């Protein structure tokens, strides 16, 4: 196990590209199963979650080659429809393979997925969508067994705009006879990226980015291989912007899609940062003196993203005044608040509301990441804090940030990854 050592108080400066989006590459890797051909993905981040997806693909019989930020998936040898618990437990997103395997082979068996413990995240909506297409699903010995001799077109009405359920429905629909229409679909940019990939393989999918996605008669056998570049990760971009806002400095992010981050950049602008955007660039300048903003309420896209809430909160622990955070997506999304308090932050949490009263200075401390984005919040706080911080629980952070130390070092941070000392 390793620990991040960060000596805070150094202003950030420089220009860095934003990595490919974790939440796009994972469902697209699953979608590669549908082509029965070779698909090549570019701008893929080096993440433990990506490694877990590759391990699943290889277990299913696919050939996978990785070179730099490109991944080639040859799904022609696929011959297995079951994913064992040891692979499923690595990440919650592994459930996205369910729809793709079902469309490709007609049956799938997997255990309940793992991932960050952010509160109840049942996959009932995923299963309801598959049942609507004709899948028979049974639960036995902790596993899900799904079978469908033939999937059919239908109308799917999601009770909430679930990203995962929307993606699983889109993937399963590739094997359906007839059109599938997903109502109240998630509108996140990653859904649009999945649609672009499916269309590049020859599918007819439309509506991504709106609340209704239409998949025209999947007919999987017509899908072919393709090349596709993963969109940039908007949450990673939000993290670097929050870090510069907190520590002070002047940074430019390249290879971004600024409109996907408008709620975050608007918040940081209101907090006192100078923010400018170009076609694929975001520039932020901060004197390190922030002030509170109006209440931040997380919402499905295009609202304020729940994944950006922790790093933005970390920055606003140093803002003069009080900022209210209301979390509407995940029940346990404030697990980072207690660790930020160890660094001197003034945060009161009541249910799904966090009241953040800005302090003049944070102090370095030994803290532990309990989940992916909470870990990012601790990094943001440590970069702005006085003294040295030691952050453990890096397995969570490594799920979503590729070369975190390298990127922050390029921006001028004093950050090192070192082996965790043994317990005496």
What pLDDT score was predicted for residue 220? 54
Name the helix (H) or strand (E) containing 314: helix 309-316
DSSP letter for 176, please: E
Helices (H), 80-145: 85-88, 97-105, 124-132
Provide the edge-to-edge strand list for the sheet that holds 12-17: 12-17, 249-254, 282-286, 274-277
- Distance, in Å, from the CA atom of 203 to the CA atom of 141, rounded to the nearest integer, reads 36
Question: What positions carry a catalytic annotation?
Answer: 116
- What's the pLDDT tens digit per position in 331-384? 889 999 999 999 999 999 999 999 999 999 999 999 999 999 999 999 999 999
Report the C-alpha gap between 27 and 137 in whole angstroms: 21
Quote the pLDDT of residue 119. Answer: 43
Per-residue confidence (pLDDT) for residue 68, from 0 to 100: 95
Which among 372, 330, 371, 373 has a CA at the least distance from the CA of 351? 330
- By C-alpha distance, which of 75, 140, 132, 130 is closest to 106? 130
Q: CB-based burial of residue 131 (10 Å sphere; 0-12 exposed, 13-18 middle, 19+ buried)?
A: middle
Q: What token pair was written down for 104?
A: 């490709």
Q: What is the pLDDT of residue 94?
A: 87
Collapsed DSSP state (helix, strand, coil) of residue 39: strand
The answer to whether 42 touches 228, Cβ cutoff 8 Å, is yes
The token pair that represents 145 in the structure block: 């067994």
Q: What's the distance, CA 421 to chain centroid?
A: 30
- The per-residue DSSP string of 184-214 comes to T----HHHHHHHHHHHHTT--EE-BTBSEEE
Q: How far is CA 150 from CA 99, 220, 317, in A?
A: 13, 12, 54
Residues (pLDDT < 70) of the chain are: 92, 112-122, 218-221, 421-424
pLDDT score, position 316: 98
CA 276 to mean position of chain CA atoms: 25
- Taking the C-alpha atoms of residue 340 and residue 259, their distance in angstroms, rounded to an integer, is 30
- Distance (Å, whole) CA 166 – CA 128: 11
CA distance 297 to 306: 9
Q: What does the DSSP assignment read for 269-309?
A: HHTT-EEEE-SS-EEEEE-S-EE--SPEEB-STTSB-GGGH
**Per-residue pLDDT, 113:** 63
Confirm if 205 and 214 have CB atoms less than 8 A apart.
yes
Terminal Cα-to-Cα distance of the chain (whole angstroms): 15
| CA 20/CA 4 separation, integer angstroms | 23
Strands (E) located in 25-122: 38-42, 63-67, 70-74, 82-83, 107-111
Residue range 140-168, pLDDT digits in tens: 877 889 999 889 999 999 999 999 999 99
């Amino acid at each position: 196990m390793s620990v991040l050592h960060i000596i805070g108080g150094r202003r950030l400066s420089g220009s860095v590209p934003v990595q490919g989006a974790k939440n796009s590459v994972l469902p697209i890797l699953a979608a590669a199963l549908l082509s029965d051909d070779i698909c090549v993905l570019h701008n893929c981040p080096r993440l433990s979650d990506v490694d877990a997806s590759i391990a699943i693909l290889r277990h299913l019989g696919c050939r996978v080659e990785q070179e730099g930020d490109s991944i080639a998936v040859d799904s022609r040898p696929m011959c297995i429809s079951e994913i064992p618990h040891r692979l499923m437990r690595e990440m919650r997103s592994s459930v996205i393979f369910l729809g793709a395997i079902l469309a490709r082979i007609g049956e799938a068996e997997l255990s309940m997925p793992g991932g960050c413990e952010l509160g109840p995240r049942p996959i009932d909506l995923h299963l309801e969508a598959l049942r609507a297409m004709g899948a028979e699903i049974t639960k036995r010995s902790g596993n899900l067994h799904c079978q469908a001799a033939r999937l059919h077109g239908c109308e799917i009405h999601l009770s909430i705009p679930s990203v995962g359920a929307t993606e699983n429905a889109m993937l399963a629909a590739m094997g359906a006879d007839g059109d599938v229409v997903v109502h109240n679909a998630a509108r996140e940019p990653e859904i649009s990226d999945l649609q672009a990939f499916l269309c590049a393989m020859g599918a007819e999918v439309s509506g991504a980015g709106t609340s209704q996605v239409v998949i025209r008669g999947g007919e999987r056998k017509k899908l072919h291989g393709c090349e596709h570049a993963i969109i940039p990760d908007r949450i990673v971009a939000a993290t670097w912007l929050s870090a510069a806002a907190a520590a002070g400095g002047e940074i430019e992010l390249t290879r971004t899609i600024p409109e996907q981050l408008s709620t975050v950049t608007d918040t940081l602008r209101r907090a006192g940062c100078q923010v400018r955007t170009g076609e694929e660039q975001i520039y932020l300048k901060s004197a390190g003196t922030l002030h509170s903003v109006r209440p931040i309420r997380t919402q499905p896209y295009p609202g304020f993203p729940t994944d950006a809430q922790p790093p933005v909160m970390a920055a606003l622990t140093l803002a003069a005044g009080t900022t209210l955070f209301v979390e509407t997506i995940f029940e346990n999304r404030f697990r980072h608040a207690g660790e930020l308090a160890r660094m001197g932050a003034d945060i009161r949490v009541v249910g799904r509301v966090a009241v953040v009263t800005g302090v003049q200075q944070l102090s370095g401390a030994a803290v532990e990441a309990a989940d992916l984005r909470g870990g990012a919040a601790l990094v943001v706080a440590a970069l702005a804090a006085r003294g040295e911080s030691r952050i453990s629980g890096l397995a969570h952070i490594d799920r979503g940030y590729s070369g975190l130390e390298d990127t922050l070092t390029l921006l001028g941070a004093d950050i090192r990854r070192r082996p965790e000392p043994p317990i005496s």
